C-alpha cells in the first residue's frame, strides 16, 4: 500500500516531522490525497479545497504543490472530513470524503472519526494499523465542479498605509486596518 510515491511507513515519518506526531487525521488525509490525485485526469495543474481546518490541510500540503501560502489550497469551513482537487482551468475535479458507512467496520477509526473516545483513550498504534489495513476502502469519491467564484484566484486590491498603526493593509478593509478597527487577537 502506497501513498503516492511513499510507502505507508515513509509517509508516517513525514507526517511526524511536519505535523508533530502521527495524527490519524493526517494519515487518513494521505489516503484521501492519493485517491484524489489518482482520480484526476493526468498531469493537470490543480488547486485544492479542504473542508476542515484540522489535520487534513497538512496532508494536502505534504503531498501536493498546494499550500495555504501559495493560495492553491483554500479552506472552507463545512467541517466535513473532505477535500477536493480540481483543474484550475475549468473547475472540474474530484472530491474525496471519509465515508461514515464504510468506516463502520473499523472500530478504532470510527471511534476517532466520531470522537467516541477521548484522545487519551485512543490507541494510536491500533488506529494506524486499521488505517493501513483499510486503505482507500473507507473513502468515497465524487466528481465535482467548483463554483467559479471559489475556483477563481482572488486578486489583491490596493494597499494603503493605516493612519493609526502605520502598517500596510488592503485598502478595501476601510479607512483604517481591521486590527485598528478592533479585530485584533492581541490584548
Ligand atoms: Zn492599523
Kindly list the averaged pLDDT for each block of 10 residues, start to end, along the chain of length 187: 95 98 97 96 89 97 97 95 95 97 97 91 93 98 93 83 97 95 93
Tell me how far the alpha carbon of residue 176 lies from the centroid of ligand 1, in angstroms: 5
State the pLDDT at residue 182.
94
Tell me how far the alpha carbon of residue 32 lies from the centroid of ligand 1, in angstroms: 41
State the pLDDT at residue 157.
87
Tell me how far the alpha carbon of residue 97 lies from the centroid of ligand 1, in angstroms: 40
Q: Where are the domains of the chain?
A: 2-151, 156-187
Tell me how far the alpha carbon of residue 71 lies from the centroid of ligand 1, in angstroms: 24
State the pLDDT at residue 43.
79
What is the rounded distance in angstroms from the CA atom of residue 129 to the CA atom of residue 81? 20
Tell me how far the alpha carbon of residue 181 lies from the centroid of ligand 1, in angstroms: 7
**Secondary-structure class of domain 2-151 per CATH:** alpha beta
pLDDT tens for residues 58-93?
999 999 999 999 999 999 999 999 999 999 889 999
Tell me how far the alpha carbon of residue 163 lies from the centroid of ligand 1, in angstroms: 7
State the pLDDT at residue 171.
94
Average pLDDT, the chain: 94
State the pLDDT at residue 146.
95
Tell me how far the alpha carbon of residue 88 lies from the centroid of ligand 1, in angstroms: 35
Tell me how far the alpha carbon of residue 52 lies from the centroid of ligand 1, in angstroms: 30
| CATH fold label, 156-187 | Wheat Germ Agglutinin (Isolectin 2); domain 1 (3.30.60)
State the pLDDT at residue 42.
74
Amino acid at each position: 500500500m502506497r501513498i503516492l510515491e511513499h510507502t505507508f511507513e515513509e509517509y508516517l515519518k513525514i507526517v511526524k516531522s511536519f505535523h508533530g506526531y502521527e495524527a490519524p487525521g493526517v494519515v487518513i488525509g494521505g489516503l484521501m490525497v492519493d485517491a484524489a490525485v489518482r482520480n484526476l485526469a493526468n498531469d493537470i495543474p490543480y488547486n485544492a479545497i479542504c473542508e476542515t481546518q484540522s489535520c487534513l490541510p497538512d496532508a494536502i500540503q505534504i503531498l501536493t504543490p498546494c499550500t495555504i501560502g501559495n493560495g492553491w489550497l483554500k479552506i472552507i469551513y463545512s467541517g466535513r472530513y473532505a477535500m477536493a482537487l480540481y483543474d484550475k482551468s475549468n473547475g472540474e475535479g474530484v472530491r474525496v470524503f471519509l465515508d461514515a458507512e464504510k468506516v463502520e467496520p473499523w472500530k478504532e477509526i470510527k471511534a476517532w472519526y466520531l470522537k467516541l473516545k477521548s484522545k487519551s483513550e485512543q490507541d494510536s498504534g491500533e488506529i494506524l494499523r486499521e488505517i493501513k489495513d483499510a486503505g482507500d476502502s473507507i473513502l468515497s469519491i465524487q466528481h465535482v465542479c467548483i463554483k467559479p467564484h471559489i475556483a477563481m484566484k482572488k486578486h489583491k486590491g490596493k494597499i494603503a498605509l493605516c493612519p493609526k498603526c502605520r502598517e500596510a493593509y488592503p485598502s478595501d478593509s476601510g479607512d483604517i486596518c481591521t486590527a485598528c478597527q478592533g479585530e485584533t487577537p492581541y490584548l
